[in-house]
Each structure stands twice: as structure tokens, then as C-alpha cells.
Amino acid sequence: MNRRIFNAIWIVAVIVFLSSLLFIMGVLYSYFSGVQAKQLRIETELASRGVAMSGIKYFDSLDIKDYRVTWIGTDGTVLYDNAADTSEMENHLEREEIKEALDEGYGESVRYSSTLSDKQLYSAKLLPDGSVLRLSIVQMAIWSLMLGFIQPILLVIIISLILSLILASRLTKRILEPINNIDPDNPMQHINEEEYKEIVPLLSRIQSQNEQLKRDQKEIEKAAMIRQEFTANVSHELKTPLHAISGYAELIEKEMVKEEDIKPFAGRIREESTRMTKLVEDIIDLTKLDNGGVEMKWEDCDLYRIAENAVDSLETPASQLDVTINIQGSDAPSWGAPQLLYSIIYNLCDNAIKYNHAGGCVDVIVQPNKYETSIIVKDTGIGIPEECCERIFERFYRVDKSRSKEVGGTGLGLSIVKHAVMIHNGKIEVKSKVGEGTEVIVSIPNKQEYIEL
Ligand code: ADP
């Protein structure tokens, strides 16, 4: 870019200079040609008066080199010529300027010399006795004139070349300096927006892309951190039941358990492996959701029927904890992945039962509206402190860790719910009061609304 700008500036400067030089030379040449022709006319006028008065004697005292003077008699013979032998000269009656002078009293003509470069100006005047006096002069062609000035012209060209090179180099530096000083991390910082209007859109684009890159970088780092945390949590969560299982198994192996205790020990081993299985299943579900649920089958479904199924399958565990679960509402046609919609309602109801009191109840309401269907899961359970309501959707977050473990929680249920709701473009809201109960409202857009989104 540096070289291109530099070349452009000095080439333009040289071209402009040379063309102005040529133009000025042309103008001067035509002006001086005019002056020369006018002068020739005056000289002819003066000389013709001299010849009219003194005749051939006029030429005796004449000593001129630049002009050619010819006197032609009435019959066309040359009476006098200061540059040639009159006896050898042909009749001049047919010459253009002579004919014109004989007709009109004064005549002029221009003839090119054999080389075509220079031209000869003729000026002829009719004298009172019928003879004609002719003066002529050589007018140099513009090229011959320039050749005569070749040295000063060359000098001027060389000086202008050097000057334009110096100026071009300085200008290039001045133009490029702010561009070279652009900080790629903050391109708009040192640039004068008025002066560099043309590159401002490019710079602001670089700036916004930089910001986007920084944001993306932050998101990538955040995602990597979440993944790392998740992996650490998963290993930790798996280690606990594994340790317990291997501990119980070791005691049995070393015959350190009484005969009657073997059965309860086996029961604990089964409990721990069930917890592990649930954890692994939840992790698999979450991983699928992390991929956007692409392998899930989407179809027309009824949210009320799905809720009914979830409630049915939770009735036994609910009655074991002395919790009653009811469902109300009406058919709610929807569009989504039935497997995910089921896991949303199942997980919410499961929590509402697990974190309830004996004798408590859970109400599931499916409310189809014009644009969306609301699923409300309301319990009379232990409630969630206000400051925890946001965090319960984080992976492995539990309000009360020991209570969650006691009821077989993995800490992943609500993360799965949140993800599944997001995939359906839905919303989730939690209202809770410690000691009174919790209400979770999920809204899933209806089919048409979903398509229009
Ligand atoms: P978990 O497997 O521990 O139930 P979740 O992700 O389903 O994990 O829930 C996260 C935490 O939110 C639970 O550990 C519990 O402390 C709290 N929580 C969820 N639902 C309720 C509820 N209906 N009532 C009270 N606390 C709840």
C-alpha cells in the first residue's frame, strides 16, 4: 500500500507538471507567432515606404540577416533579393502573397520548408509604381523551439522530479501514519473519523468483530469451566455410592457381617446402585439436551395425556410418602418431543412429592390457552428459600443436600427440566414460600405459535 500510494502521488505530480509545461509552451508559442507576424507586417510597411522613396538605393544601406527581402518588378522578375542571386530566380507573379498584394495592395502567406518543421512567413506590399516588396522570416516550429531550450527544460524536469519524489514520500508517510498506528485490538481509538471517513466502516466492523470474539471467547471459557465443574461433580457423585457399595461388599467378603445383617446390607447395595443408575440416566438425558435434543422425535401430542401418565406412574411413590397427587385440566394439543415433555412434568411432580410433608398434597393443573399451555405443579411441601429459587436449576445444586440424598435425588432433575423447556421455546417460573409450599409454572407455546417463532 505504501509503495502504491507513493507511486500514485509522484506519477500524478509529474504528469500534471509535464502537461502544464506543454500547455504553457503551446500558449507562449502561439502568442509569439502572432507577435512575429504582426512585426513582419510593420517591417514590410516601413521598408515599402523606403523603397518607394529611394528605389534600389534603399537596399544599399540595408544590413539585415534575419529577414529575407525581395523586390519584384511589375512583370514578376526579381529586381532585388538579399539572400539569392536574382538572375537565377524564376518569375514570382504566381506566388500567393504576390498575387494577393497585386490584387489588394497587401498579401500574406505561409509555406512550410522541406523538413516541415519550420515555416516561412511572407508579407508583400504593392508599391505605387506597381512593383511589390516582399519580406519573409523563418518561424521555428514548436519542437525546434523546445530543442533550443532543451537544457533549461531538462533541468526543470529533473528538479520537479526530485521535488515530487520528496513530496510523495512525505505525503505517503502522513497519510499512512495513522493507519499504521491502528491498534488491532481497539481500531477506533486513535483515528480521526472525519479525516478517514472511508475506512471508518471497516474499522468499526473490526471493532465489533473483536468485541464479538471477546464475547465468544468468554462464552467458550465459561462453557469449558462448566464442563470441567460438571465432570468433577459427576465423578464425586459417582464415587460416593461406589465407595459405599465396595465397603458393604468388602465387609460381607471378610465375613464381618452377621448372618441376619446380610439381607439389609444387600438392600443398601441395591439402593446405592439404584442411585447410581438414576444418576447415569440423568447424565445421559442432560448430554442429549446439551446437543439440542436433535435425536428426539417431534410430533403432535397432548400435554394433558402426558401429565396424566406422569401422575399415574408417581401415584405409588406418593402414597408411600403419604402424599396425595391430583390432576385437573383439559386436553391440550401441543407440538414437541413427548419424551422431553414427560420428563418435565415427571421431574416437577417427583420433586413436589419428595420435598413434601406426610399428609401433604400435590396439584397438577394443565391449562390450555390461546397461545400457550400452562402446566402448574403446586405442592404443600417444605418450600424453597427465596435466594435459592434461581439456583435450583443449576446442575447438582441442592438446597438441602442430605434431604435430597435421603429421597434419592441426583441434583440434576431441574437442570433437565429447564433445558427441555428451553428446547420447546417455553418459560418456567417458580413461586415458593418456606414451610408453605412451592408452585412451578411451565408454559409451552402452542403449535402455531411455535412455528411462527
Ligand atoms: P434433586 O434431584 O436433588 O431433587 P433437582 O434438580 O430436581 O434435584 O432440584 C434441585 C433442588 O431444588 C432440590 O435438591 C431441592 O432442594 C430443591 N427443590 C426442587 N423442587 C422442590 C420443591 N417442590 N420443594 C422444595 N424444594 C425443591
- Cα of 162 vs its chain's centroid, Å: 39
pLDDT at 431: 96
pLDDT at 119: 85
380-391 mean pLDDT = 94
Which of 281, 355, 376 maximizes ligand 1 atoms within 8 Å of its Cβ, making it the mutation to test the pocket? 355
| Ligand 1 atom having least distance to the Cα of 415 | 6
Which residues, including other chains, have CB under 8 Å from residue 8's CB and lie 6 or more apart?
none
Helix (H) or strand (E) holding 394: none
Q: What is the pLDDT of residues 203-230, one digit of tens each?
A: 888 888 989 999 999 999 998 998 898 8
Domains of the chain by start residue, with CATH:
2-147 (3.30.450.20), 184-290 (1.10.287.130), 296-445 (3.30.565.10)
Q: What is the pLDDT of residues 249-285, one digit of tens each?
A: 999 999 998 989 999 999 999 999 998 999 999 999 8
Which residues, including other chains, have CB under 8 Å from residue 262's CB and lie 6 or more apart?
252
Report the separation in Å between the CA atom of 288 and the middle of ligand 1, taken as the mean of its atom positions.
21
Helix (H) or strand (E) holding 66: none
**Would you say 426 and 335 are in contact if contact means Cβ atoms under 8 Å apart?**
no
Using DSSP's 3-state secondary structure scheme, residue 437 falls into strand
Q: What is the pLDDT of residues 160-199, one digit of tens each?
A: 889 989 998 999 898 888 778 778 788 777 777 777 788 8
For ligand 1, atom 20: residue with the closest CA:
351
81-85 mean pLDDT = 85
For ligand 1, atom 2: residue with the closest CA:
409
Tell me phi and psi for residue 176, to 5 degrees. Answer: -85, -15
- Cα of 315 vs its chain's centroid, Å: 60
Question: Does residue 323 register a pLDDT over 90?
Answer: yes
Q: How far apart are CA 322 and CA 346, in angstroms?
A: 18
Q: How far apart are CA 65 and CA 437, in angstroms?
A: 129
Q: How far is CA 355 from CA 325, 406, 407, in A?
A: 13, 11, 8
pLDDT band at residue 115, thresholds of 50, 70 and 90? low
Which of 237, 398, 434 maximizes ligand 1 atoms within 8 Å of its Cβ, making it the mutation to test the pocket? 398
Residue type, position 359, single letter: G
Report the separation in Å between the CA atom of 437 and the middle of ligand 1, taken as the mean of its atom positions.
12
As a whole-number percent, the residues of the chain with pLDDT over 70 amount to 98
Residue type, position 5, single letter: I
What residues flank ligand 1, with Cβ below 6 Å? 347, 351-352, 355, 379, 381-384, 392, 397-400, 404, 409-415, 438
Q: What is the pLDDT of residues 32-80, one digit of tens each?
A: 889 989 999 999 999 999 999 888 888 887 777 788 899 999 998 999 9
Name the residue among 382, 299, 388, 389 with its Cα closest to residue 339: 299
Report the separation in Å between the CA atom of 422 and the middle of ligand 1, taken as the mean of its atom positions.
19
Report the separation in Å between the CA atom of 398 and the middle of ligand 1, taken as the mean of its atom positions.
6
Question: Does residue 82 register a pLDDT over 90?
Answer: no
15-22 mean pLDDT = 90
Beta strand 437-445 pairing with 372-379:
antiparallel
Q: How far apart are CA 179 and CA 188, in angstroms?
A: 10
Q: Up-side HSE of residue 272: CA atoms within 13 Å toward CB?
A: 19
pLDDT at 223: 87
Q: Which residues pair with 437 in a beta bridge?
A: 433
386-409 mean pLDDT = 90
pLDDT at 218: 95
Report the separation in Å between the CA atom of 351 and the middle of ligand 1, taken as the mean of its atom positions.
6
pLDDT at 155: 92
Name the residue among 274, 393, 306, 414 with its Cα closest to residue 351: 414
Q: How far apart are CA 410 and CA 394, in angstroms?
A: 12
137, burial (CB in 10 Å: exposed 0-12, middle 13-18, buried 19+): middle
pLDDT at 42: 95
pLDDT band at residue 432, thresholds of 50, 70 and 90? very high
Question: Does residue 382 register a pLDDT over 90?
Answer: yes
Beta strand 361-368 pairing with 324-329:
parallel
Q: How far apart are CA 31 and CA 135, in angstroms?
A: 21
Q: What is the mean pLDDT of the chain?
A: 89
Name the residue among 87, 68, 86 with its Cα closest to residue 133: 68
117-145 mean pLDDT = 87
Name the residue among 1, 16, 3, 17 with its Cα closest to residue 168: 3
Query: What does 242-301 look like in DSSP terms, one character per residue?
Result: HHHHHHHHHHHHTT-S-GGGHHHHHHHHHHHHHHHHHHHHHHHHHHHHHTTTTTSPPEEE
Which residues, including other chains, have CB under 8 Å from residue 248's CB and lie 6 or more apart?
265, 268, 269, 272
Report the separation in Å between the CA atom of 387 and the middle of ligand 1, taken as the mean of its atom positions.
14
Question: Does residue 122 register a pLDDT over 80?
Answer: yes
